[in-house]
Amino acid sequence: MADEVGVPRDRKILVAVDESEESMHALSWCLENVLFCGNYKDTLILLYAIPPRAVYPTLDNTGHVFSSDFLAMMLKYNKDAADFVVQKAKRMCKEQARDVKVETRIEHGDPRDVICEMAEKLHVDVVVMGSHGYGLIKRAFLGSVSNHCVHNVKCPVLVVKRPRPDDYRSK
């Protein structure tokens, strides 16, 4: 990106991360291929979306009421998982791109909506995300986060697919 005079400007790059190998591959690819090297800095924003908690019925199948301790445990698990993923991503940034400025965000909500909202709210220049590579049936039932973001985020969205082992065949 450059301003009107042709001087490169700092960019905000949002990278969506989750527990998957695909998101860590996308982050690694971004660190190697998207960040500028030079006398200006890009800001990398690592975003983790904690999905909405499932609606639990007040009674389980034996007729027992779920305790508030169980629900609190589920919330803590989600927060711990988010913290773990974000810390892993920050370590990767430090190892691959020592000087990159990294910010982190942990938000609650459907990842599709959270990524779109944060991209707009933070005025990012590009969104980078991995592709889980779901087949047609899974995508029909689960929806594709990357497809949703490509169609709804107002800045460029870079979807990074993890190479399959057969992509490296000897020629």
Please tell me the total count of domains within the chain.
Answer: 1
Lowest-confidence region among 6-20, 28-42, 146-160 = 28-42
Specify if 21 maps to a domain.
Answer: yes
CATH of the domain at 116: 3.40.50.620
Specify if 38 maps to a domain.
Answer: yes
Q: Are residues 119 and 5 in contact, defined by beta-carbon separation less than 8 angstroms?
A: no
Specify if 2 maps to a domain.
Answer: no
For 36-54, the pLDDT digits (tens) are 665 457 899 999 999 887 6
Residue whose structure tokens are 């459907």: 110
Higher-pLDDT residue of 141, 73: 73
Specify if 171 maps to a domain.
Answer: no
Specify if 81 maps to a domain.
Answer: yes
Q: Which of 20, 15, 73, 24 lies closest to 44, judged by CA?
A: 15
For 93-131, the pLDDT digits (tens) are 999 887 889 999 999 999 999 999 999 999 999 999 998
When computed from its CA atoms, the radius of gyration of the chain, rounded to whole angstroms, is 19
What values do phi and psi take at 45, rounded to 5?
-110, 115
Domain that holds residue 99: 12-54+62-160
Q: Return the SS3 of 162.
A: coil
Specify if 6 maps to a domain.
Answer: no
Please write down the long-range contacts of 139-146, taking CB distance under 8 Å and 24 or more positions apart: 143/112, 145/16, 145/111, 145/112, 145/115
Residue whose structure tokens are 């090297």: 37
